[in-house]
Amino acid sequence: MDRTATRVCPLCEATCGLSITLSDGRATRVRGNPDDVFSHGYICPKGASLGRFDSDPDRLTAPLVRRPGGGFDEVGWAEAFEAVDRGLRAVTDRYGRDAVALYTGNPVIHTLALPLYMMVLRERLGTRNVYSSTTLDTMPKSVACGWMYGDPLAFPLPDVDRTRHLLVLGANPVESNGSLWTVADLPGRLRALRARGGRLVVVDPRRTRTADLADEHVAIRPGTDALLLLGIVNTLFDEGLATDPGEGFAGFGELARLVQGFGAGEVAAACGVPADTVRRLARELAAAPAAAVYGRLGTCTTEFGTLTSWLVDVVNIVTGNFDRPGGVLFGEAPHAARRPAEPFRTGRWHSRVRSLPEVNGELPTATLVDEIETPGEGQVRALLCVAGNLVLATPQGERLDRALPGLDFMVCVDPYLNETTRHASVILPPPSPLESPHYDVVLAARSVRRNARFSPPLRALAPGRPSEAEILARLVLIASGRGPGGDPDTVDDTLTDLALRAACGRPGSPLAGRAPAALKAELTGEGALERRLDLMLRLGPAGDLFGARPDGLNLARLKESPNGVDLGPLRPRRREVVMTASGLVELCPPAITADLPRLAARMRDFGDGGLVLVSRRQSRSVNSWSHNIPSLSGGTNRCVLELSEEDAARLGVAAGDLVRVRGRGGEVVVPAEPTGRLRAGVVSMPYGWGHGRKGTRMRHAAAEPGVSVNALTDSAVVDPLSGTAVFNGVSVRVERVEGSQTES
Ligand SMILES: Nc1nc2c(c(=O)[nH]1)N[C@H]1C(S)=C(S)[C@@H](COP(=O)(O)OP(=O)(O)OC[C@H]3O[C@@H](n4cnc5c(=O)[nH]c(N)nc54)[C@H](O)[C@@H]3O)O[C@H]1N2
Ligand SMILES: Nc1nc2c(c(=O)[nH]1)N[C@H]1C(S)=C(S)[C@@H](COP(=O)(O)OP(=O)(O)OC[C@H]3O[C@@H](n4cnc5c(=O)[nH]c(N)nc54)[C@H](O)[C@@H]3O)O[C@H]1N2
Ligand code: SF4
Ligand SMILES: [Mo]
What letter represents residue 155's amino acid? F
If phi > 0 it is left, if psi is from -120 to 50 it is alpha, else beta; for residue 549 that is: beta
Low-confidence ranges of the chain (pLDDT < 50): 744
**Pick from 707, 710, 712: nearest CA to 665:** 712
Which residues partner with 26 through β-bridges? 23
621/6 Cα distance (integer angstroms) = 23
pLDDT at 742: 54
- Does the CB atom of residue 615 touch ligand 1 within 6 A? yes
Q: 241-244: long-range contacts at Cβ-Cβ below 8 A with a sequence spacing of 24 or more?
A: 241/282, 241/283, 241/286, 241/319, 242/286, 242/318, 242/319, 243/318, 243/319, 243/320, 244/318
- Does the CB atom of residue 397 touch ligand 1 within 6 A? no
Degrees (nearest 5) of the Cα angle 390, 16, 52? Answer: 60
Q: Contact, 150 vs 579, CB < 8 A?
A: yes
pLDDT digits (tens, 9 = 90+) for 335-344: 998 888 888 9
223/520 Cα distance (integer angstroms) = 52
**Pick from 564, 157, 146: nearest CA to 361:** 146
CATH architecture of 148-334+582-597: 3-Layer(aba) Sandwich (3.40)
287/165 Cα distance (integer angstroms) = 10
205/169 Cα distance (integer angstroms) = 10
33: exposed, middle or buried (Cβ count in 10 Å: 0-12, 13-18, 19+)? buried
N- to C-terminal Cα separation, the chain: 44
SS3 sequence, 54-106?
HHCCCCCCCCEEECCCCCEEECCHHHHHHHHHHHHHHHHHHHCHHHEEEEECH
**Pick from 167, 178, 71, 17: nearest CA to 565:** 17
Domain ranges of the chain: 1-55, 148-334+582-597, 487-560, 609-741
Q: Contact, 33 vs 1, CB < 8 A?
A: no
Q: Contact, 200 vs 168, CB < 8 A?
A: yes
CATH architecture of 1-55: 2-Layer Sandwich (3.30)
335/338 Cα distance (integer angstroms) = 9
Query: How would you classify the pairing of strands 382-386 and 100-104?
Result: parallel
CA dihedral 729→732→737→738, nearest 10 degrees, is: 120
Two domains, one topology: 148-334+582-597 and 609-741: no
What's the gap in Å between 468 CA and the centre of ligand 1? 17
169/203 Cα distance (integer angstroms) = 5
27/683 Cα distance (integer angstroms) = 40
484/467 Cα distance (integer angstroms) = 15
pLDDT at 744: 44
588/245 Cα distance (integer angstroms) = 13
Q: Contact, 455 vs 533, CB < 8 A?
A: no
Integer CA distances (angstroms), 177 to 11, 243, 563, in order: 10, 32, 21
Ligand 2 pocket mutation, candidates 176, 394, 632, criterion most atoms within 8 A of CB: 176
Ligand 1 pocket mutation, candidates 136, 180, 628, criterion most atoms within 8 A of CB: 136
Q: Which fold has domain 609-741?
A: Barwin-like endoglucanases (2.40.40)
pLDDT digits (tens, 9 = 90+) for 19-67: 999 999 999 999 999 999 999 999 999 999 999 999 999 999 999 999 9
Which residues partner with 447 through β-bridges? 182
Q: 189-193: long-range contacts at Cβ-Cβ below 8 A with a sequence spacing of 24 or more?
A: 189/160, 189/161, 190/160, 190/166, 192/161, 193/160, 193/163, 193/164, 193/166
Residue with the smallest CA separation from ligand 2 atom 31 is 298
DSSP category for residue 183: -
Return phi, psi of residue 673, to 5°: -135, 95
What's the gap in Å between 316 CA and the centre of ligand 4? 23
- Does the CB atom of residue 46 touch ligand 3 within 6 A? yes
626/522 Cα distance (integer angstroms) = 41
pLDDT at 579: 96
Degrees (nearest 5) of the Cα angle 116, 121, 126? Answer: 150
Residue with the smallest CA separation from ligand 3 atom 2 is 12
Distance of CA 334 to the CA centre of its chain: 20
312/304 Cα distance (integer angstroms) = 12
**Pick from 385, 374, 305: nearest CA to 130:** 385
- Does the CB atom of residue 729 touch ligand 1 within 6 A? no
Ligand 2 pocket mutation, candidates 179, 622, 642, 730, criterion most atoms within 8 A of CB: 179
CB atoms within 10 A of CB 567: 19
